[in-house]
Structure 1
Amino acid sequence: MPILLITGTGTEVGKTITTAAVAAVAVAAGRSVAVLKPAQTGVRPDERGDADEVARLAGAVTTRELARYPEPLAPGTAARRSGLPPVRPEQVAEAAAKLAVDHDLVLVEGAGGLLVRFDEAGGTLADAARLLDAPVLLVAAAGLGTLNTTELTARELQRRGLALTGVVIGSWPTEPDLASRCNLADLPVVAGAPLLGAVPAGAGAREPADFRAGAAGWLAPALGGEWDGEGFTAREAHRSGR
């Protein structure tokens, strides 16, 4: 799995922190890692972007952005309003392939969900995945409403012939409600792919050393970690008295 694309069921679901966790586990295993952010929006030139945050948390990773737009909008819209050139799927695929030559793992973090548009032609992260013939990791929310967006994304990946590696819950609450607890069992069913982790809420606020020490415990062995999905689901159900 030299190239892995990471998308979400929407915005603010924990893609960047999940990307950092995957990177941290890989770095700890001695792998060279690159993180590619095709389009960073809502950040000024002097501000830290998502790729910078991954590097801060994960450690020694190579980072690259293809474009940065000041307004917090979909990349295609942000590019149009700024007057700057848009990012196209072909550019994303080319950049990822070049990084893969010198790195064991390249993580490509999208913006928002799978079909968020990069350009006026409707190019998306899914198109980049097709060009690369690379698998996709889906980061989902924990609570009510996540089953619908997860299944829609999984179905679109399947329709396009793209491989869904699995689902990671990007922010697992300290006190999960009933919907969140039930979703531990339901998410892999609607996705047709395994649940591969649950990143605790607030993980991104930890000190980098603590983040790196904990990352393996949040991700399943398929992502290089040691998270036990069945055990986690059972413990959460028991804790909640269900």
Structure 2
Amino acid sequence: MPIIIVTGTGTEIGKTIVTAAVATLARAANRTVAVLKPAQTGLAPGEPGGDADEVVRLAGTGVRGVELARFPDPLAPATAARRAALPPVRPHGIAEAAEKLAADYDLVLVEGAGGLLVRFDDDGATLADAARLLDAPVLVVTPAALGTLNSTALTAEALRARELELLGVVVGSWPTHPGLAERCNLTDLPEAAGAPLLGAVPEGAGALAPADFRTRAATWLAPSLGGTWRA
């Protein structure tokens, strides 16, 4: 899998931290990694930060972060581009950038914005269109709490309708003290997704010191992603 698409069932659910964990384990296996963020919203050009930069900070040496576009307003990419009077990011551009990186890196992680069908342009193009152009598997990040089964099932259904491969599901922020719903969801998510549960990253993992993050990442992800985690 030289290219993996990382999407979510919504926003602010841990996609960037999961991406960093996957990158960390790939680096531990001596693979070179590039992280592609097609559209970074909520930050002005030149402003420090951004999801790709956060992945590089946590995963460390040997990981390259790339942004294709940056829009100041914290909105869906199509809306943010329109408000900034800037060209939107389009699926062919995402695919071309990912393929170019894949020629130089062992693994390319393409992190979307929000969920799978968030619009990148006013023609309705989405991350799913880029995944189809790349014929790349999709890793879905989902919350742990009540309601996650429905949003995960909807995302999985959208992927199947587009004949895209669902690599698996990772819980993006596993609570320190899970309740009944969270514990049951850990069992039920694979059935809702029709795909394996490949990890659960603990809440607050992104606040760890990078060295601690790299040391602990293997315990959060399943063996197929290079870790030791088991549900």
C-alpha displacement of 1:47:
2.1
**Moved beyond 6 Å, runs of 4+:** none
Structure 2 residue corresponding to 1:67, chosen from 66, 69, 72: 69
Code of the residue aligned with 2:10 in structure 1: it is G
The aligned residue for residue 191 of structure 1 is: 193
Find the aligned partners of 2:21 and 2:145 in 1 and give their Cα distance.
Answer: 21
1:49 lines up with 2:50 in the alignment: yes
Find the aligned partners of 1:225 and 1:185 in 2 and give their Cα distance.
Answer: 19
Find the aligned partners of 2:52 and 2:102 in 1 and give their Cα distance.
Answer: 17
Find the aligned partners of 1:208 and 1:139 in 2 and give their Cα distance.
Answer: 21
The aligned residue for residue 8 of structure 1 is: 8
Find the aligned partners of 1:47 and 1:116 in 2 and give their Cα distance.
Answer: 24
Which of the two has greater helix per residue? Answer: 1
Task: Summarize the alignment of residues 92-241 of structure 1 with structure 2, pairs less than 5 Å apart.
Answer: 92-229=94-231
2:98 partner SS: helix
Code of the residue aligned with 2:53 in structure 1: it is D
What do residues 131-186 of structure 1 show as CA deviations (whole Å, max 9, x unaligned)?
00000000000001111100000000001000000000000000111111110011
Q: TM-score, normalised by structure 2?
A: 0.98
Unaligned segments of structure 2, at least 5 residues: none
1:21 lines up with 2:40 in the alignment: no
1:175 partner SS: coil
1:93 partner SS: helix
What do residues 39-77 of structure 1 show as CA deviations (whole Å, max 9, x unaligned)?
000012222100000000001201110000000000000
Find the aligned partners of 2:86 and 2:97 in 1 and give their Cα distance.
Answer: 19
1:190 partner SS: helix
Code of the residue aligned with 1:199 in structure 2: it is V
1:171 partner SS: strand
The aligned residue for residue 232 of structure 1 is: none
Find the aligned partners of 2:92 and 2:124 in 1 and give their Cα distance.
Answer: 12
Find the aligned partners of 1:96 and 1:180 in 2 and give their Cα distance.
Answer: 35
Q: TM-score, normalised by structure 1?
A: 0.94
Find the aligned partners of 2:179 and 2:42 in 1 and give their Cα distance.
Answer: 31
1:102 partner SS: coil
Code of the residue aligned with 1:166 in structure 2: it is G
Unaligned segments of structure 1, at least 5 residues: 230-242
Code of the residue aligned with 1:92 in structure 2: it is I
Code of the residue aligned with 2:140 in structure 1: it is L
The aligned residue for residue 82 of structure 1 is: 84
1:118 partner SS: coil
2:6 partner SS: strand
Code of the residue aligned with 1:130 in structure 2: it is R
Find the aligned partners of 1:63 and 1:51 in 2 and give their Cα distance.
Answer: 5
The aligned residue for residue 236 of structure 1 is: none
